[in-house]
Amino acid sequence: MVNLAVLASGTGSLFAAMLEQKLPIRLMVTDRPCRALEIADEAGLPHVLLPRRFGKGFDRDAYTREMLALFREHHIGLVAMAGFMTVFTPRMFAEDAYRLKILNTHPSLLPSFKGDHAVKDAIVYGVKTSGCTIHWTTEELDAGPIIAQESVKVLPSDTVESLHERIKEVERQLYPALLKTLI
Ligand code: GAR
Q: Return the CATH number at 78.
A: 3.40.50.170
Nearest ligand 1 atom to the CA of 104 is 13
- Measured by CA distance, the residue closest to atom 3 of ligand 1 is 83
pLDDT at 139: 96
Catalytic pick among 106, 117, 135, 164: 106
- Rounded Cα distance between 134 and 125, Å, is 22
**Ligand 1 pocket test target in 6, 7, 9, 13 with most atoms within 8 Å of CB:** 13
> What's the pLDDT at 126?
98
Q: Give the position, in ligand 1's atom list, of the atom nearest the Cα of 84.
A: 13
Contact predicate 132/167, CB 8 Å: yes
The answer to whether 106 is a known catalytic residue is: yes
Are 115 and 86 contacting, i.e. CB atoms less than 8 angstroms apart? no
Q: Does ligand 1 lie within 6 Å of residue 11's CB atom? A: yes
Evaluated on CA atoms 65, 70, 76, 80, the torsion sign reads: negative
User: Rounded distance, CA 148 to CA 151, Å?
Assistant: 10
- Would you state the pLDDT for residue 106? 98
Tally of domains within the chain: 1
**Domain interval for residue 59:** 4-182
Query: Are β-strands 25-30 and 47-49 bridged in parallel, bridged antiparallel, or unpaired?
Result: parallel
User: Atom 10, ligand 1: which residue's CA is nearest?
Assistant: 83
Q: Which atom of ligand 1 is nearest to the CA of 105?
A: 4
Say how many Å lie between the CA of residue 66 and the centre of ligand 1.
23
Mean pLDDT per 10-residue section of the chain, whose length is 183 residues? 96 98 98 97 97 93 98 98 97 97 98 98 98 98 98 98 98 98 96
> CA 177 to CA 105: how far, in whole Å?
13
Q: What is the pLDDT of residue 1?
A: 87
Query: d(Cα 141, Cα 50) in Å, to the nearest integer?
Result: 20
Number of residues written out for the chain = 183
